[in-house]
Structure 1
Amino acid sequence: MPHVQTVLGPVEPARLGRVLSHEHLLCLAPGPGLGQDPVDLAVAALRGLAAYGVDTVVDLSPYGDAGRDADGANVELLREVARRSGLHIIAGTATYRAEFSPAWVRAAGVAELTRRFVADATRGIGGTGVRAGILGEQPTGLDEVTAHEETGLRAAARAHHQTGLAINTHTTHGTMALEQLAILDQEGVPRDRVVLGHLDNHPELDYVRRVLDTGVNIAFDSVGKQCWDLRTPPPARTPPDGEYRKRALHQADLTRADRLARLVDEGYAEQILLSQDLTGSQSYLNPTTHGQWGYRYLPAVFTGMLTERGVGEAQLTAMLRTNPVRLLTVDG
């Protein structure tokens, strides 16, 4: 039977409402070690979504990053979030960029990672019994695809063939999307089972159109993240006291809404998914969006911006429900 694999078990696709397709539910504290219970934070943050028709959240945290621990065992906490919030929670499985990955991931080859992803989908992540419902977010870096990142993409592709799960990627600022797709094409992954993430952060709309014209799905999944820091590993040496430079970016939601409305008007709504990629460490940079509204920002505020730009209810339903449910559904 076709189903969506949630952390509490399989669910009929028809039971799902609107979906936030790329979030990190155990990464809502502004920093580790602050004594804040991650389940309490997640349940509180999810409160109120049902009023906007959102009843499903996909957690795309990879091993060792974005709230997922190195062996994945704390994915068990997502079950408690689902029980207490009353929402459908789907857990992804993935590795991340090398500088944020645990040692076992950095040492693993394609075959080992493939076995891990398949086990996560069929037996459970980290021995918890919580089965993955999607493969992702599988990343590439800024303007490059490293050997480590290619290993992860190929492993996800091969796990797709054994499990039927869709693949959701991370592009750094929208770059390397076509290069990701070329690798997945080599592995024989159908383009309609792939979501290339963070294309809303690419500065050139024509590039986004080129990606869409391949037939693949994309995500505008940084809604509300108007300012963010480029994540880099800690410096190898302690810098001297005083000011230092860091890289940061800005993408106004007005720009994001303008571009998305144009793409919808051009007929691409059936290939686009929406989400916020909300994390506690970045919320302070966005006090009027994530900082004020949390998860409610997308359905309460951003959809209104789209409506003002001529996006209709049917197109919103496609991007917030039909498309993500289609990607999350597996047969058998």
Structure 2
Amino acid sequence: MRTVLGDVDPARLGTCDAHDHLFFHSPALPGQELTDPAAAAAELRAFAAAGGGSVVQWSPVGTGRRADALIRLSRRTGVQVIAATGLHQAAHTDPAVLDRVRGRLTELFVAELTEGIRAGDDPDAAPLPARAGLIKVAGDFHALAAHARASMTAAAEAHHATGAPIAVHHEAGTAAPEVLDLLCGRLGVPADRVVLGHLNRCPDLRMQRDVAASGAYLAFDGPSRAQQATDWRLLDTLTELAAAGHARQLLVGGDTTTAAARASTGGGPGMPFLLRVLRPRIEHALGAAVTADIFVANPARAYAVDWRR
């Protein structure tokens, strides 16, 4: 497991928020940036106080991921942080960064996974003393446009060079079959190296069962202001998928993308909600063993890599 402080045994990951953001900014979300290190520290401390051990930050290149601050926060709070390389949708990526990295995606992804995240998201900059532990890419609404296909192709190439897992943003929960067809069918990425995000935003249980049959991991958002219409379906979805034999593929994360959604400095529910409120409800519905899979064992497998390869 590659954290910003170095490689650790996956067994030490502990209780995991499998998809969240400590730092994030997007041209498409002006005024809603996550840029405050003090607020991020407060959120991590609240998460740790609730029993949290690790957070996987899905903020990729060009979204203000702040690898330098992640190092300091992990040391000060004791929470292990896994950072991302990769590329989001063009609408969510700094245009200047897009210009710098275009045509060099595979090179950049591999370098950030093996050498260190590049300061200023500049492929020619010296590496920071923190390496990425996953590759984040994004699809489009019910489709994969040219930008998505280019970033996923580079992600697959970087995976084959390093073994790193690939985490995928699905716009409104759609296009998961198309993503699997491209990444796993055409580009040869093993399905168990792919994490499919946001699938609860499209509550199509038949589709969810179909993509789970591939062996990929399914990452569901915890309750959030942006996705509250899907909150009430989350427990039913997890219950149905576990009953269908996919309990060992389920992940849950908070996906906090705006300052207002933080628990410690905003209106919440934030990272600690996953453990204070959602985890007990999952345990009541699915039992202690499945809950331990979702929060501990599954993320340890999903994000584990033999970096000696």
Normalising by the smaller structure, the TM-score range is: 0.7 to 0.9
- Secondary structure at 1:142's aligned position in 2? coil
| CA spacing shift, 1:325–1:33, aligned 2, 3 Å | closer
Amino acid at match of 2:293: A
Which residue number corresponds to residue 257 of structure 1? 235
Alpha-carbon distance, 1:108 to partner: 5.0
| CA spacing shift, 1:79–1:107, aligned 2, 3 Å | closer
| CA spacing shift, 1:265–1:282, aligned 2, 3 Å | farther
1:222-244 deviation digits (Å, cap 9, x = unpaired)? 2112x42xxxxxxxxxxxxxxxx
Unmatched 5+ stretches in structure 1: 69-73, 229-248
1:169-215 deviation digits (Å, cap 9, x = unpaired)? 10011101110111112111001111111111113111111111222
**1:5 to 2:5 alignment:** no
Amino acid at match of 2:58: L
Alpha-carbon distance, 1:265 to partner: 2.3
Q: Superposed, which structure 2 residues align to 1:1-332 within 5 Å?
A: 4-27=1-24, 38-65=36-63, 67-68=64-65, 74-101=66-93, 102-105=95-98, 108=101, 112-126=104-118, 127-136=127-136, 138-185=137-184, 186-220=186-220, 222-225=221-224, 227-228=225-226, 250-281=228-259, 283=261, 291-309=267-285, 311-331=286-306, 332=308
Amino acid at match of 1:319: I
Alpha-carbon distance, 1:263 to partner: 1.6
| CA spacing shift, 1:79–1:39, aligned 2, 3 Å | same
| CA spacing shift, 1:282–1:268, aligned 2, 3 Å | farther
Determine if contact 2:16/2:52 at 8 Å carries over to the other structure: yes
Cα distance in 1 between the residues matched to 2:194 and 2:255: 18
Determine if contact 2:112/2:131 at 8 Å carries over to the other structure: yes
Determine if contact 2:251/2:298 at 8 Å carries over to the other structure: yes
Cα distance in 1 between the residues matched to 2:211 and 2:45: 35
Alpha-carbon distance, 1:5 to partner: 0.9
Determine if contact 1:257/1:302 at 8 Å carries over to the other structure: no
Determine if contact 2:134/2:164 at 8 Å carries over to the other structure: yes
Which residue number corresponds to residue 246 of structure 1? none
Alpha-carbon distance, 1:281 to partner: 4.8
- Secondary structure at 1:20's aligned position in 2? strand
1:14-62 deviation digits (Å, cap 9, x = unpaired)? 222011111110249x96599x972211110112323443210111102
- Secondary structure at 1:219's aligned position in 2? strand
Report the TM-score, using the length of structure 1 for normalisation.
0.81
Aligned pairs, how many? 292
- Secondary structure at 1:149's aligned position in 2? helix
Cα distance in 1 between the residues matched to 2:155 and 2:212: 21
Which residue number corresponds to residue 233 of structure 1? none
Determine if contact 2:260/2:267 at 8 Å carries over to the other structure: no
Cα distance in 2 between the residues matched to 1:6 and 1:292: 26
Alpha-carbon distance, 1:117 to partner: 0.2
Cα distance in 2 between the residues matched to 1:117 and 1:83: 25
Determine if contact 2:10/2:304 at 8 Å carries over to the other structure: yes
Determine if contact 1:196/1:218 at 8 Å carries over to the other structure: yes
1:130-162 deviation digits (Å, cap 9, x = unpaired)? 1011111x1011122110110000100110011
**CA RMSD in angstroms, aligned pairs only:** 2.4
Rg (Cα) greater in structure: 1
- Secondary structure at 2:245's aligned position in 1? coil
- Secondary structure at 1:295's aligned position in 2? coil
Amino acid at match of 1:22: H
- Secondary structure at 2:164's aligned position in 1? coil
Cα distance in 2 between the residues matched to 1:13 and 1:183: 28
Unmatched 5+ stretches in structure 2: 119-126
| CA spacing shift, 1:45–1:172, aligned 2, 3 Å | same
Which residue number corresponds to residue 124 of structure 2? none
Determine if contact 2:203/2:233 at 8 Å carries over to the other structure: no
| CA spacing shift, 1:103–1:318, aligned 2, 3 Å | same
Cα distance in 1 between the residues matched to 2:139 and 2:260: 20
Amino acid at match of 1:191: A
Identical counterparts, % of pairs? 36
Determine if contact 2:170/2:197 at 8 Å carries over to the other structure: yes
Cα distance in 2 between the residues matched to 1:197 and 1:206: 16
